[in-house]
Amino acid sequence: MGDNSLLRTDKELAEMYRRNVNRVYKLCYIYLKNTADAEDAVQSVFLKVLQLNLSFNDYEHEKAWFITTTKNCCKDILKSWWKRQRVDFETLPDIASQDEDTQEKVIIAKLLALPEKYRVVLYLYYLEDYSVKEIAKFLGRNESTIRSQLQRGRQKLKIDLGGKDLEQKSCEQNI
């Protein structure tokens, strides 16, 4: 049957899920700030990739699609009538998956306290290792705006992280 070439195999889908699920979940959690909504959004993003039966040029194209789609999905959830009317009694749970290191959990917890414009930019820059240019493209903003948001976000986090800039922390980790 020639139709098999058009459909992804279960193994390919499982591999795509494995490559992207943590990134998608963390980004959903950064936007939505709670486990239940983040889990729902992750399901929506992966359902969309199944429904559209997309093919990607390479892994970077795949990552970019997942980040952009995740951002749009979360924005839709945040704009929804249900989300605006609901009162969330849930306290902040453990961040994302259990296998993350403690430092990343601390940083994500601090990011959640920031306004969205800083939270998302800092997450993509430091935890996903995207460049300013790539973030600007994903979020549809100017590069200068992204640089400003990174700087202001770093300033807001500086005190919470023991007085060191994130840039310094990042350099120290690479030594």
pLDDT, residue 99, reads 47
pLDDT, residue 113, reads 82
pLDDT along the chain (175 residues), means of 10: 50 90 93 90 92 87 93 88 51 46 70 83 84 89 92 81 55 42
Chain CA centroid to CA 146, Å: 16
94, 123, 150 - which closes a domain: 94
Q: Are residue 68 and residue 140 in the same domain, yes or no?
A: no
pLDDT, residue 91, reads 44
pLDDT, residue 55, reads 83
CA dist., res. 156 & res. 140, Å (int): 23
94, 115, 130 - which closes a domain: 94
Host domain of residue 130: 101-175
pLDDT, residue 5, reads 39
Domain containing 38 — which CATH number? 1.10.1740
Total domains in the fold of the chain: 2
